[in-house]
Amino acid sequence: MQETIQHSENRKACAHCGAELLYKPGSDQLKCPYCGFEAFIEPNRKSFEELELEHYLDITGNHAHTDTIELLHCKNCGANQHVEERFKSLHCAYCGEPLIREDLFREGWVLPGAVVPFQIDHQRAGRIFRDWVRKLWFAPSKLKRAALDPEAIHGLYLPFWTFDARLDADYSGERGDYYYVRERYQTSKGTQTRQVRKTRWRPAVGSVSGFLDDILIQASQTAGGALPGAVHHWDLSALRPFHSDFLSGFTTEKYTVSLKEGHQRSFRKAKETAYLWIRRDIGGDDQRIHHADIRLSEETFKHILLPVYVSSYRYRGKAYRFYVNGQTAQIHGSRPYSAWKIFLTVLLVLLLVAVIIWVSQ
């Protein structure tokens, strides 16, 4: 289950017309969607903080939190999202089902420490989605019409944990160096020779160390499963200190992977990195690792939010989702096929072939 929220606290009103100011993607400004008035986002601090991991795990346990939020539960897909007071009704961003205000509940969470703000706005994301759909072969006509609906695509901030640590590892193993020998073999044409590659192994022991920066762990599972790898890449050098103004006008998903579980997943990634460093340190053409004593120290973490647009569509009872990276504009998604369009295309090809044969005869 994933949980999404829309921040309503500390909303800023337009100084000209009183409407709510929304974040303007690709800027440090809020903009009024009605009269165009703009206001700068005043940062709470100049840099974001790396939090000491051990302290949070010891003091707060699996579900550390420093604030509470209000959530609504979608009974269709299991998503939970917060509804701002100005909305009289809202549909789930993941499946389009109506949300019921009576299902409101409260939960705690670790406040985000940093955010990569949206760099493309809703209109551009819609154009990217429409252009992508137009290029799909045998796409149902309903899908192409859905791509024209500006309400069908939603901007989401997805939660991630990032972990930093110093890695030290002592290892023992073997280094393999290739060499070639010529051997004889029999064929129907007689005796032939060929080059055969062999490996000369020798013991290897040593240690490696280094700093792991921003091991990225997705802190939630979307309604459609893990986020597609094609849109799963952000430039983290663009991280900004967290400010709720960046979230204005967008939905924010709450993490469902606890800090403790995220840390365990990050260690598995750190182990993969350690083995990569060890193989590089052993050298040679091939390596065998018999034992590795891996230690992490000086561990810190951040809870960060990263931008993505999502659009959902149902075809013949099956849900399809499309994602656009809100920073890089990369797009990916599953897609349905129209059986009728495929059938008619095949039929047309067969008719053309028949006509060509008939004319040639």
At 108-133, the pLDDT tens digits run 777 888 999 999 988 888 888 778 77
In this prediction, residue 347 carries a pLDDT of 65
Please report the pLDDT score of residue 64 as a whole number: 47
Residue type, 37: F
Q: What is residue 88's predicted lDDT score, i.e. its pLDDT? A: 47
Delimit the domains of the chain by residue range: 3-162+214-258+265-281+298-360
Task: Inform me whether the pLDDT recorded for 168 exceeds 90.
Answer: yes
Segment 303-313, tens digit of pLDDT: 899 999 887 77
pLDDT digits (tens, 9 = 90+) for 126-166: 888 778 777 666 566 666 555 555 567 788 888 899 999 99
Q: 334: helix, coil or strand?
A: coil
CA 67 → CA 12, 33, 174, distances in Å? 20, 29, 51
Averaged pLDDT for residues 50-79:
64
The pLDDT value recorded for residue 248 is: 82
Mean of pLDDT values over 49-68: 58
For residue 122, the tally of other CB atoms under 10 A from its CB is: 19
> Higher confidence at residue 59 or residue 245?
245
**Is 350's pLDDT higher than 50?**
yes
CA pair distance 243, 113, nearest whole angstrom = 9
